[in-house]
Structure 1
């Protein structure tokens, strides 16, 4: 029998992760998170994650550097960060975006702040 559980998450009451992300709905193989009103600043330290990420920009702008390539993210654009790829973000203008990760980022400490 298939899983028929409905998951509904209100972002106003979502738990926050170690870097300020809000965890939204999640399933066994996929999860969502919200980056809300991220402030401009220097580029974040490069990281490699044990999950794939796809994202969509709601407002603001940021630069994504992925394996040496830099792209500008602005409202209406989406992106993919493949599992294991070195990447970093630099917020240019107050930034809000939704991301989905597979497998779920928040399980088994996959979303923990990377150590240098």
Structure 2
């Protein structure tokens, strides 16, 4: 039997892109990110699926050559392996879930 996991705010870890790693299980992980307005990020593809939800702000996502604007209350899906990039238009706070879990490791910690 798995024991429920609680991740107090004081115990969260921050990755090299500013993502805050929250609760993580065997099949899914949760993270929060906030970012100020800026240009497009580098194009990336991940070996996991990402679903996200905008809590506050406005961003654009360029997913495999198509661009969409997302604001508070909007959500998105980036399939595993899909090339994508983000541009924050207004400071954004978002939550993402990854499957399989994207996890924090010591090399994520900024120096």
Q: Give per-residue Cα distances to partners, 1:8-41, cap 9 Å, x unaligned.
A: 11335410011000000000111000002x1110
Q: TM-score, normalised by structure 2?
A: 0.90
- Residue aligning to 2:75: 78
Note if contact 1:11-1:22 (Cα within 8 Å) is conserved in structure 2.
no
Q: Which residue of 1 aligns with 2:17?
A: 19
2:15–2:104 Cα contact (<8 Å) kept = no
Does 2:43 align with 1:61? no
**What is the alpha-carbon root mean square deviation over aligned residues?**
1.9
**Are residues 1:89 and 2:90 paired?**
no
The structural deviation recorded for 1:105 is 1.1
5+ residue gaps in structure 1? none
Give the whole-Å Cα distance in 2 for the aligned partners of 1:27 and 1:67. Answer: 29
Q: Is the 8 A contact 1:58 1:76 kept in 2?
A: yes
Structure 2: distance between partners of 1:99 and 1:29: 14
User: 2:10 and 2:54 mapped to 1: Cα distance?
Assistant: 19
Structure 2: gaps (5+ residues): none
Moved over 2 A (4+): 10-13
Following the alignment from structure 1 to structure 2, what is the Cα–Cα distance between the partners of residues 6 and 68?
A: 40
1:52 aligned partner: 49
